[in-house]
Structure 1
């Protein structure tokens, strides 16, 4: 693999840590800012909403720029934003800064995902994607548990200062390793408006919708994993850190599994099986909520399911883009990032509503319902696509 792809992974680690570490710091942030946990949980949603907007729309607006310049600017935004988050005096400021940093996150992951597939042979595109996305899974496996521990030991503000320092390293790596003008998409006559119109292709929107449902399913639970384990499963911070660690380690396995499956077998079949597994996993989290050890195992397998689906759906959407809108594959990648982050934001919101109108213990059922709906949408899309292909003489 080219060195630039590993630098993409490092930057993805920093972005992923910025987004997800809040899940392990909810209680610490709530206490420090004197805010209710249900509102602090929207810190993940605010970031994800920014990524959902930035990934397709801002990526479309800057599609004619060089990848190198876009990635450097996005990483610089992460560095400045992380320092501002560490100095936030109240929840409103924290949410506003996280939204802006989320914009950069969406653009970075969209452009880096697309660039990675163009820096390698087509036969290795799935594995190249998995290397980029493994940065996010490493953030969950190593960064979030470590950040949770440091947040409880010192301060949650120190965690965001460290992310700012890490982003500087990512910028240096991009400046040294990112090719200048190599593997850029030819975009003769391409403009921002055409890039935005490319987002509206029906097949791409349906696939993106499936990705949104997958994130809703996962993050309606994971956004509130800290209070869930502490209040429903009734375990301490050590168990919470272990759960975060297992989720992250298994997410690495899921990410790699998705890349291997994408290169080795039918992508649609793999996605269908993974979606069914996700639904069953969430039902299991509801069923064994009072048992710490089974809960830890199911939190781990949740990471496998989610990140395998992330890799598979990313490649599915990029292949659809290369077929329908080849000059705007980075915009399609942005649509994919947007769908997952919009789903993350909605998942957090639905989880909060479930807590308010039902109970904290019920949030895995909300996630399972979204996963079942994703299976149904994929089935209908595949059926419709098969009918269209069979009707072509």
Structure 2
């Protein structure tokens, strides 16, 4: 495994920690800046807003900047955003700081995914991308609980400062380990936007928004579902969320090699299993053991489909995959907001605390339908989608001045498809 993938995983670890650590510190933050807990909850939305806006904006502005330099600039902005969060004197400035911290999120993942896919042979591209995503899943097991405990013990500002330190470590790792990857001649925002302007990208992003919305419809209300329906003690919910993170890690580990072997079947299977598990959770949540098994599986399937969606979008964007890869993370955050909103609607309508599971199953099923529509639009491409992966790595030759032998590998992969 190239050491550069470790640097990218550290970036993902920092992003995952800062994205979710606020949720566990809302009471402390509310007290610290003099607002109510629901008002403090808007800080989570502020970060998501930064992701949705920043992914296409910063990727477009950096379209001519070599990938390594762009990664360093984005990581620097990530550090600044978290330091600003730690020193914000009031709620308004903290809200703005969380938007700032979220701005580089999608672009970092997008550029990082393209860089990761170009560090390895074509047949291992998805495994490389999933290795980077492991940093995000480990953050849910280690980073978020540790950051929450730190913030509760030493004040919420210490959690953001700790994330800033992680960002500095990531910055140093990127500078030391990631190789130079110059942009292709003629690269620019028009080139990226032109690559985005096809129906395959649109259907892929729609699949991400709707399919992932199913996962977030349940995740957003997981704690009250387990305490109100399952009857678990609130003190045990931290361990349950860690279990969800373990599931995410397992799903990411499985997704890489399976996506390399068969991209679309992996995507179809992940969405189908997610729909079934979410539907089963509506009944399983009544009992502790079955509820915990489903929590593990929901976490696994949520992260499992991340890699094939990411690789599919990068492939369909052909020679300019960075904007598509970054926009995928805008789609994830729209899914987060939409899934949480729909889950809240059915709870408010009196359908019960378990009802978001039915919403989630429905959204996952619709996401599967959209994915199948995308496959039909391809006109019967081969099940392994090798030609698509080759297109992504072929871009590496154009952008990075690939070493002798890479072109032959790409051609061989295309013939195999």
Length-normalised TM-score, structure 2: 0.84
Greater CA deviation, 333-342 or 303-312? 333-342
Q: How far does residue 313 in structure 1 lie from its aligned partner after superposition?
A: 1.0
What does residue range 114-125 of structure 1 map to in structure 2 within 5 Å?
A: 114-125=114-125
Give the structure 2 partner of residue 48 of structure 1: 48
Give the structure 1 partner of residue 313 of structure 2: 317
* Aligned with residue 220 of structure 1, among 197, 217, 235: 217
Name stretches of at least 5 consecutive residues in structure 1 with no aligned partner: none
Give the structure 1 partner of residue 273 of structure 2: 277
Q: Secondary structure of 1:386's match?
A: coil
1:166 matched to 2:162? The reply is no
* Aligned with residue 356 of structure 2, among 346, 356, 363: 363
What does residue range 141-290 of structure 1 map to in structure 2 within 5 Å?
A: 141-180=141-180, 182=181, 184-186=182-184, 188-264=185-261, 266-290=262-286
* Aligned with residue 335 of structure 1, among 327, 330, 336: 327
Greater CA deviation, 220-229 or 295-304? 220-229
Question: Does the CA contact (< 8 Å) of 1:42 and 1:348 recur in 2?
Answer: no
Q: How far does residue 236 in structure 1 lie from its aligned partner after superposition?
A: 3.2
Residues 144-187 of structure 1: CA deviation (Å, up to 9, x unaligned)? 2333444444433322221111111111111111223x3x341x
Give the structure 2 partner of residue 99 of structure 1: 99
1:297 matched to 2:289? The reply is no
* Cα distance in 1, alignment partners of residues 95 and 275 from structure 2: 31
Question: Does the CA contact (< 8 Å) of 1:23 and 1:224 recur in 2?
Answer: no
Length-normalised TM-score, structure 1: 0.88
What value does the CA root-mean-square deviation take over the aligned residues? Answer: 2.4
Residues 250-290 of structure 1: CA deviation (Å, up to 9, x unaligned)? 211100100010122x2111111111111122223322334
Residues 47-90 of structure 1: CA deviation (Å, up to 9, x unaligned)? 22322222223202211101122111211222122122234455
Q: Secondary structure of 1:82's match?
A: helix
Question: Does the CA contact (< 8 Å) of 1:11 and 1:167 recur in 2?
Answer: yes
Greater CA deviation, 296-305 or 346-355? 346-355
Distance change in 2, residues 1:288/1:5 (3 Å): same
Distance change in 2, residues 1:388/1:145 (3 Å): closer
* Cα distance in 1, alignment partners of residues 47 and 223 from structure 2: 18
* Cα distance in 2, alignment partners of residues 131 and 290 from structure 1: 35
Residues 310-362 of structure 1: CA deviation (Å, up to 9, x unaligned)? 0111112122222xxx1x11112112222222212322333444444445442
Give the structure 2 partner of residue 377 of structure 1: 370
Question: Does the CA contact (< 8 Å) of 2:67 and 2:183 recur in 1?
Answer: no
Greater CA deviation, 83-92 or 369-378? 83-92
How many aligned residue pairs are there?
A: 381
1:308 matched to 2:300? The reply is no
Distance change in 2, residues 1:291/1:95 (3 Å): farther
Q: Secondary structure of 1:132's match?
A: helix
* Cα distance in 1, alignment partners of residues 172 and 192 from structure 2: 29
* Cα distance in 1, alignment partners of residues 311 and 152 from structure 2: 38
Deviating 4+ runs (over 6 angstroms): none
* Cα distance in 1, alignment partners of residues 269 and 32 from structure 2: 43
Q: Secondary structure of 2:305's match?
A: helix
Q: Secondary structure of 2:378's match?
A: helix
Whose Rg is larger?
2
Q: Which has the higher contact order (CA 8 A, sep 6+)?
A: 1
Q: How far does residue 241 in structure 1 lie from its aligned partner after superposition?
A: 1.2
* Cα distance in 1, alignment partners of residues 149 and 280 from structure 2: 27
* Cα distance in 2, alignment partners of residues 312 and 67 from structure 1: 22
Q: Secondary structure of 1:168's match?
A: helix
Question: Does the CA contact (< 8 Å) of 1:253 and 1:304 recur in 2?
Answer: yes
Distance change in 2, residues 1:21/1:299 (3 Å): farther
Question: Does the CA contact (< 8 Å) of 2:20 and 2:144 recur in 1?
Answer: yes
* Cα distance in 2, alignment partners of residues 34 and 221 from structure 1: 30
* Cα distance in 1, alignment partners of residues 114 and 155 from structure 2: 36
Q: How far does residue 2 in structure 1 lie from its aligned partner after superposition?
A: 2.1
Distance change in 2, residues 1:157/1:295 (3 Å): farther
Q: How far does residue 96 in structure 1 lie from its aligned partner after superposition?
A: 2.6
